[in-house]
Amino acid sequence: MFTLPLLPYSTTAFGDLISVETFEYHHGKHHKSYVDKANKLVAEDEALAGKSLVELILSAKGGLFNQVGQIWNHSFYWLCLSPEAKTPGGKLAEMIASQFGSHAKLLEKLKEEATGHFGSGWTALLIDGERLQVKSYHDADCPVKHGDTPLLILDVWEHAYYVDYRNNRAAHIEAILDKAIDWDFVALNLDRKGTERADQKG
């Protein structure tokens, strides 16, 4: 059975940037609904028993894929957020400067991609070999399905921002990127990928 992960911070930690009401709906209702529906669909099919979330993402279609894809996307998204303003450091900062010119230019690229994405979905910062890449996914699609390695993911579904920003997705994306990204977590994902490459070479 899949379970709704606990948030790694208080629902009051972000103040007006992400309100308590948004967390109550986004995490407590939307994310929980994906978990509940996935569990119901898996329980109805004995062939799915015991399969991991990733296994289901790679094999499922239709309604079940929508649920498990959204579970993974949201679980990763919560970890990308921090109520404390942070900036990239170390290897991550070096790669951003080399490939985008500056941290500010990367943020502009992410804002442009996320704001311009048509309809619901997700925008991610990926690591592809030694290159950083910005990419969007529609609806419940997620990086795992395509073998992509995300360092950061942004939710551009309306339920992520409508309570606080109404239909102003751009204002929400700007606020999140400027004030609420856990760049330590992003850097940790990069470090983990580097460790995996080293292990493969060994």
Reported confidence tier of residue 196, pLDDT bands at 50, 70, 90: low
Domains and CATH numbers, the chain: 20-79 (1.10.287), 90-201 (3.55.40.20)
Reported confidence tier of residue 13, pLDDT bands at 50, 70, 90: very high
**What is the mean pLDDT of the segment spanning 76-88?**
96
Contact present, 57 and 72 (Cβ < 8 Å): yes
Distance CA 82, CA 98 (A): 25
Q: What is the pLDDT of residue 194?
A: 62
Contact present, 89 and 108 (Cβ < 8 Å): no
Reported confidence tier of residue 193, pLDDT bands at 50, 70, 90: confident
The 10 Å CB-count burial string (b at 16+, else e) for 15-27 is eebbbeebbebbb
Residue 3 in tokens: 């379970």
Residue 60 has pLDDT above 80, yes or no: yes
Q: What is the pLDDT of residue 158?
A: 98
Contact present, 102 and 156 (Cβ < 8 Å): no
* Mean pLDDT, rounded, of the chain: 95
Beta-bridge mates of residue 121:
138
Q: Which residues contact 49 (CB under 8 A, 6 or more apart)?
A: 42
DSSP, residue by residue, 55-88: HHHHH--HHHHHHHHHHHHHHHHHHTB-SS----
In degrees and rounded to multiples of 5, residue 181 shows phi and psi of -95, 135
